[in-house]
Chain A
Amino acid sequence: AQTIHQWPVAEIKAVGSPLSLGCTIKGKSSPNLYWYWQATGGTLQQLFYSITVGQVESVVQLNLSASRPKDDQFILSTEKLLLSHSGFYLCAFRDWESSYEQYFGPGTRLTVL
Chain B
Amino acid sequence: GDSVTQTEGQVTVSESKSLIINCTYSATSIAYPNLFWYVRYPGEGLQLLLKVITAGQKGSSRGFEATYNKETTSFHLQKASVQESDSAVYYCALSDRNAGAKLTFGGGTRLTVRP
Contacts and interface: CB of A to CB of B under 8 A. Distances in A.
Nearest to B44: A106
A103 B36 CA distance: 12
Interface of A: 32, 34, 36, 43-46, 49, 51, 57, 59, 90, 92, 94, 99-107
The number of chain B residues touching the other chain, given as a range, is 20 to 34
A99 B34 contact: yes
A94 B101 contact: yes
Nearest to B38: A104
B13 interface: no
B95 A43 contact: no
Contacts of B46: 44, 90, 104, 107
A106 B46 CA distance: 7
Interface string B40-53: 00000111100101
Interface of B: 34, 36, 38, 45-48, 51, 53, 91, 95, 97, 99-108
Contacts of A43: 105-108
27 contacts: A32-B101, A34-B101, A43-B106, A43-B108, A44-B46, A44-B91, A44-B103, A44-B105, A46-B103, A49-B99, A49-B101, A49-B102, A59-B102, A90-B46, A92-B103, A94-B101, A99-B51, A100-B53, A100-B101, A101-B34, A101-B51, A102-B48, A103-B48, A104-B45, A104-B46, A105-B45, A106-B45
A34 B99 CA distance: 11
A107 B45 CA distance: 7
A107 B40 CA distance: 12
Nearest to B54: A99
A17 to B, nearest CB: 26
